[in-house]
Amino acid sequence: MAEKVAKLGVEREKDFMYYVKDGGVWKVQRKQPGVPKGRPEKVADGGFQMDTNYIYFVDRDGDVARAKRAVGGQKRKKSAAKKRRPARKAAKKTKAKAKGGKKAAKKSKGKKRR
């Protein structure tokens, strides 16, 4: 899935979060209650150009890797959307009939009075 872009061998510390920005690896202290916000610090310079079609991250080995960005989310099935709509309409009709037949259904379609 992911391909290595730069072999840096960054040593990770437990209390820091690592991220890739402008072709370099940065670290910042993790948020903790009662501790002020930490300042980012540059750890290593990767010397590579970043492409907007990929997500860049620091992998287990401390190297920079990239994976294809999922744009647009997951596609939905069209048949599932069609099956849901009739069920909702049927539920509204049964509620109207329970209230008093067609007269109750006509009243619910009118404008609300204030």
Q: pLDDT tens-digit profile of 49-89?
A: 999 999 999 999 999 999 998 878 777 888 755 555 555 65
With b for 16 or more beta-carbon neighbours within 10 A and e for fewer, the 3-42 pattern comes to eebbebebeeeeeeebebeeebbbbebeeeeeeeeeeeee
Helix (H, G, I), strand (E, B) or coil at 54: strand
Comparing CA positions, the residue from 11, 17, 14 lying closest to residue 57 is 17
Q: Which residues pair with 56 in a beta bridge?
A: 66
Does 46 or 101 have the greater pLDDT score? Answer: 46
**Angle, helices 102-109/78-99, rounded to nearest 10 degrees:** 120
Does 24 or 86 have the greater pLDDT score? Answer: 24
**pTM of this structure:** 0.57
